[in-house]
Amino acid sequence: MDYASVIASPVGTITILADDEFVHVITFAEKDITGLSENELTVKVANQLNDYFKGDLKDFDFPIKQKGTEFQQEVWQNLLTIPFGETTSYAKFSAHNPLAIRAIAAANGKNNIAIVVPCHRVIGSNGKLVGYAGGLWRKQWLLQHEREIAQKGQTELKF
């Protein structure tokens, strides 16, 4: 990663790491970005994230690429299909391969592109919020934010 941008958000500081072509990391975790400057791509991502937090943007349109196994890549691609303002359970998300539910959950947890690859939209089968590397309070905030913007969806599954 050659470039970085940092933004303040309602859910804390967010660091964006990219090269000339792709965004590789969007994280709440502290990162040492000493010596890194912004580029056109990290500024675009920062602007889109700010628009997301203002409620003006639902879909991101910048190139992403994170390191991972073929299986992880498949899981992350599947996360991108969960509609804005909606949630799905881990069981439903892994219905195509129910024996891999733990591996799918683990891959979900290794997602390095927070918010944009919406791992926060996957909740427990019982409707409870579970497992989010950024903290459950952030997951709750993001789901509530999206639900209010979309005026649909829910943060817990109702049976």
Residue 72 bears catalytic tag: no
d(CA 68, CA 88): 23
Give CB contacts under 8 A, 24+ apart, made by 45-53: 45/5, 45/16, 45/18, 46/5, 46/7, 46/16, 49/7, 49/9, 49/14, 49/16, 49/115, 50/7, 50/9, 52/115, 53/9, 53/10, 53/145
Q: Which of 119, 123, 142, 143 is catalytic?
A: 119
Q: Which amino acid is at 158?
A: K
Query: Which whole-number Å values give the CA distances from 108 to 29, 117, 150, in the listed order?
Result: 16, 9, 23
Helical segments of the chain, H only? 40-54, 70-79, 90-93, 101-109, 136-150
**Looking at the DSSP assignment, which residues form a beta bridge with residue 122?**
88
Catalytic residues: 119
